[in-house]
Structure 1
């Protein structure tokens, strides 16, 4: 029989989040708490347990031996408690709980709003936290437990994660509406300046592979990791771009930019949902995958 007060679940969650992120500042941001409030939660837990959980050296935070013990034992218990609560809510006919969803900027801006609106209308008790990161970073965040799932472009299926293919996006040529050419051949634009995503991104690597297969060489004068910035540069007349079609759909409908697929350069990227197969998805997460 246990004696003495038990730790509060919010205190445990605070400590586990600090341990996972290695930072009080980032943990406070994720939990949507002020940093003093988070510190009080952790200190309260340390008082309840009678042990020190963290060593603070400057801005760095390291787990003590007792802190490591807490993470190993309490982490799975807290996750299971959340799953039980969510399952009970689902059994009563209402999904509930918190879902941490990651997405790349272009997916979040251009595709997620139409998906999330009906999902949130049907699941009013779900607290959805959307985190925007690059497609390169998101698989790591799912694998580490920082995110429950992510929607992004992939070049290959990330090892250790479950991958569900959602849709494909074709890369299209993007140019000002005033541009004199209406050619749909990339060979007609090899003398032009191009503004592209960085070579470290999934989309750029797919594009470079397609260009290499046809022995095309573009003159890249500017790189940026934001499609929104690239579109602004094209509008300003700094060059042409090649981007996923959904990224420029609004601008082409409004007549602000011209965009079309290329007949001699067919490149598509796959948008997938990533999750960790080692953990059982909560009902609210499963419902989102079906949205």
Structure 2
């Protein structure tokens, strides 16, 4: 009597993964492996997971002992998955995504917002807007733990895409198809001067010989300003460039330089509102150069957000109404 043929089995990795009895990998260890695989660096993955690099290395060593194979190998300064590592990530990733969907759905059904939210923001937004937004948000969501990371606006979209943060709020253009952008509010740029500056004109023409302290060209604020100057020059043949004496990516540093008399600046009005009210700086909009920058919330549509993240986006949107 011949035995019936066994059904076809799924392909196995070149080096089979062996689970030791009683040592199934924990979700934390699997998440650590997925994060390293996505970012390609132990150091950056440790930062994203808010743990030390030695602790992350211990988690990976424990995971490798559990499955019986090496999951990562170093290639220069980077790390990459071994063949078994690729197999583990390809299978564990969808499982963790499904677990996230289930727990997120349960939390939403219960109407609760809890957990940790990793929020990235530009310095100016963190100083001018977030305090009045986060105070009522955290009061209404006592079970939410918030981590705030301040970076320049050109870095924040990549941090969302790599999974280092859950949400970013900053001034950027909608230039990535893999991310979701939601405009929250707009901020008008104003001319900023020392309080003892003699000029009181609202026309940019009268300041073209002045030294300016500006944000760098990598920022959307500077790009919008330069674009407006070029459009104005193309329209009436006027000068298209300001005399830039100094560039810095911190609005706080720029304000200090203006107060010290090193030059003038063009900054978003909320950034200088406190100083103008105190009489420490003078500022007003320009009649012939109106520039408005959008403040947006950035999320990754590939991942279902936690209720706590969704609630924070809504709190940000309410601020802009």
TM-score range, shorter chain: over 0.9
Name stretches of at least 5 consecutive residues in structure 2 with no aligned partner. 1-18, 234-238, 316-321
Alignment pair present for 1:107 and 2:125: yes
Spell out, residue by residue over 1:152-190, the C-alpha distance to the aligned partner (whole angstroms, 9 max, x if none). Answer: 212345323222110000000011111111211111111
CA distance in structure 1 between the aligned counterparts of 2:91 and 2:150, rounded to whole angstroms: 31
Q: 1:271 aligns with which of 287, 292, 295?
A: 295
CA contact (8 A) 1:104 1:133 kept: yes
Spell out, residue by residue over 1:60-109, the C-alpha distance to the aligned partner (whole angstroms, 9 max, x if none). Answer: 32211122222222123223323422432343342112222222221122
Alignment pair present for 1:77 and 2:95: yes
User: Scaled by the length of structure 2, what TM-score is found?
Assistant: 0.84
CA distance in structure 1 between the aligned counterparts of 2:157 and 2:47, rounded to whole angstroms: 20
Partner of 2:103, secondary structure, is helix
CA distance in structure 2 between the aligned counterparts of 1:58 and 1:199, rounded to whole angstroms: 32
CA contact (8 A) 2:48 2:163 kept: no
Q: 1:255 aligns with which of 279, 294, 303?
A: 279
User: Scaled by the length of structure 1, what TM-score is found?
Assistant: 0.92
Q: 2:261 aligns with which of 237, 240, 265?
A: 237
CA contact (8 A) 1:162 1:277 kept: yes
After superposition, the Cα gap between the structure-2 partners of 1:3 and 1:223, relative to the gap in structure 1 and judged at 3 Å, is closer
How many residue pairs were aligned? 290
Bigger radius of gyration: 2
The residue aligned with 2:156 is 138
The residue aligned with 2:141 is 123
CA contact (8 A) 1:142 1:150 kept: yes
The residue aligned with 2:42 is 24
Partner of 2:171, secondary structure, is strand
CA distance in structure 1 between the aligned counterparts of 2:44 and 2:272, rounded to whole angstroms: 33
CA contact (8 A) 1:86 1:96 kept: no
The residue aligned with 2:79 is 61
The residue aligned with 2:236 is none
Alignment pair present for 1:192 and 2:210: yes
CA distance in structure 1 between the aligned counterparts of 2:189 and 2:36, rounded to whole angstroms: 40
